[in-house]
Amino acid sequence: MRTRSAVTAACLLLLTISGTAFPSTDAPPSASPAVDNRGSDASAGFAGAGALPACRFSDIAYSDTFRSEGLGYVTSAEFAAALRAVANGDSKYSPAEIPQSWRAAVAEWDGSRPGLEKLKALGDRRSNIPALIYLASMEYRSKARSPQLKPAYPVLVRAATRDLEGRIAAKQQLAGKFAERTDAIGVKLYTAELMGAAGCAPGAVADAKAELDLARREATDLRYSVQDTESSFRKAERFAEMLLARQQFASKKGLKCYAE
């Protein structure tokens, strides 16, 4: 549990460092499966309870703050190019002295999910990552010739990290319940398959498994809110319950498959 907390803290710290406060202006500053091996692979190994939270800088785009402020452009290739330009001193928004940590941050922006030690290094207050993101947003909208786009002000970056911090905490608290729901849905799918669902409705079985897999991934993915994850679990549950109910009905009627 201490390891998980440490990783979470490091993940968030690399985005919450603020350095100098910037004004809101345009001026640049200087599991455990319940189904055994005989059954469906739909619930094979939910990792929610034991998975370490991971993040990358661009995950702030999926925060409630960035979504509401229309800052999803930070996931684009053009924004990544703007980051490089600012960090390399090739932008009019590049400061006279560029922090060495900025180039490392650019390298980690969207290409990988940093490890703990690297996150600690990037989390140093002197790296001033929110400032880099803000300046890159200025470069991006300048290159896009879209002055109406809202810049990613450091205050919004910090708010976004608070959103993600709350999301991580909520998902950690719900990890056990998500694992139980994954296993319960997997049991229903396995039972439905034993009763012939795979042969009677292969498309529906595939859809149910895909929805369960999505829900399981969302449970440990920082980019999805708890509400998104709950919605996916409910959908997977409905699919599994429908399949099982149909096969049970067919069995009672002495049929191989459910007849509409």
Question: For residue 29, what pLDDT is reported?
Answer: 45
Question: For residue 49, what pLDDT is reported?
Answer: 41
Series of mean pLDDT values for 10-residue runs along the chain (260 residues): 44 46 44 39 45 68 94 95 96 93 83 50 59 95 95 89 84 92 96 93 94 92 90 96 94 82
The contacts of residue 44 (CB under 8 Å, 6+ apart) are 33, 35, 186
Question: For residue 132, what pLDDT is reported?
Answer: 93
* Contact present, 191 and 82 (Cβ < 8 Å): no
Domain ranges of the chain: 2-29+49-161, 174-252
Give CA 209 to chain center in angstroms: 20
- Other CB atoms within a 10 A radius of the CB of residue 198 amount to 16
Q: Computed over its alpha carbons, how large is the radius of gyration of the chain?
A: 23
Question: For residue 38, what pLDDT is reported?
Answer: 40
Question: For residue 31, what pLDDT is reported?
Answer: 35
Question: For residue 201, what pLDDT is reported?
Answer: 92
The contacts of residue 109 (CB under 8 Å, 6+ apart) are 56, 57, 58, 80, 83
Distances (CA, A) of 39 to 34, 46, 189, 207: 10, 15, 9, 17
Question: For residue 181, what pLDDT is reported?
Answer: 95
Give me the helices (H) in the chain, please.
2-16, 64-68, 77-87, 101-108, 116-122, 129-143, 154-194, 197-200, 202-219, 226-252
Query: Residue 155, CB half-sphere, CA atoms under 13 Å: how many?
Result: 7
* Contact present, 238 and 211 (Cβ < 8 Å): no
- Other CB atoms within a 10 A radius of the CB of residue 148 amount to 6
The contacts of residue 241 (CB under 8 Å, 6+ apart) are 188
Q: List the structure tokens of 61.
A: 């785009």
Q: List the structure tokens of 56.
A: 């990358």
Question: For residue 36, what pLDDT is reported?
Answer: 43
Look at residue 124 and give its three-state secondary structure. coil
